[in-house]
Amino acid sequence: MKFEKDWRAAKSPELMNLKQNIRDQMRKHFTDGGRKDAKAIEEWLEDNVETKTYEEAVKMFEDGDLWIAPTNAISTRLLKDGVCSGYRCKHEGKDLKGIFRTKGEILTESSGTLTEKKGSITCHAIQGKTISKGKIFICLNDNFEYAQIYTAVSRAVKMEQLVFVN
């Protein structure tokens, strides 16, 4: 199926153009969709968009912003550095050890639901979500699948939301 209209970025030609360029690079560099292909996309973005260092990005982060990372390990580091992207619901039930909902809900701390603080949200957990408020910080390192960055970028509705972290 071919999609002809980018509804999420419809009001941002610059974002639509970036997404098209990333898709073009994905087609150009595809071998198996793994780490080697992801590295090619990361390097292309490093050469074609403004990036911030991790330290710069942490200083820029404000309440209401969201950090999307390829792995949960980055979330742990971000929490230590004072970054909180939201809270993940734990399943209801008797055994709550390490069991989380898989839909990537982002809640407020005052929701009254048993939650776990998250420094970042993974690309997989955020699939299908539209993020219309705040900045979206996207890691350009350690993506293990080449579509992860595109998935993160495509959550935004305008280019000004995106902060690429190298």
Domain count, the chain: 1
Residues 4-55: tens digit of each pLDDT: 678 888 899 999 999 999 999 999 999 999 999 999 999 999 999 999 999 9
Domain at 123, CATH number: 3.40.50
Is residue 128 a part of any domain in this protein?
yes
The predicted structure's pLDDT at residue 94: 40
Cβ(43)–Cβ(162) under 8 Å?
no
Cβ(115)–Cβ(84) under 8 Å?
no
Is residue 103 a part of any domain in this protein?
no
User: Residue 116: in which H helix or E strand, if any?
Assistant: strand 115-118
The predicted structure's pLDDT at residue 103: 36
The range of the structural domain enclosing residue 36 comes to 13-86+118-165
CA pair distance 118, 75, nearest whole angstrom: 6
Q: Is 84 a residue whose pLDDT tops 50?
A: yes
The residue to which tokens 């820029």 are assigned: 60
Among 4-13, 17-26, 93-102, 148-157, the range scoring the smallest mean pLDDT is 93-102
Q: Phi first, then psi: give them for residue 121, nearest 5 degrees.
A: -115, 140
Is residue 151 a part of any domain in this protein?
yes
* Closest by CA position to 46, among listed 139, 120, 136: 139
The predicted structure's pLDDT at residue 117: 79
* Closest by CA position to 85, among listed 111, 112, 103, 58: 58
Residues 104-126: tens digit of each pLDDT: 344 444 444 556 778 898 888 88
Q: What is the pTM of this model?
A: 0.83
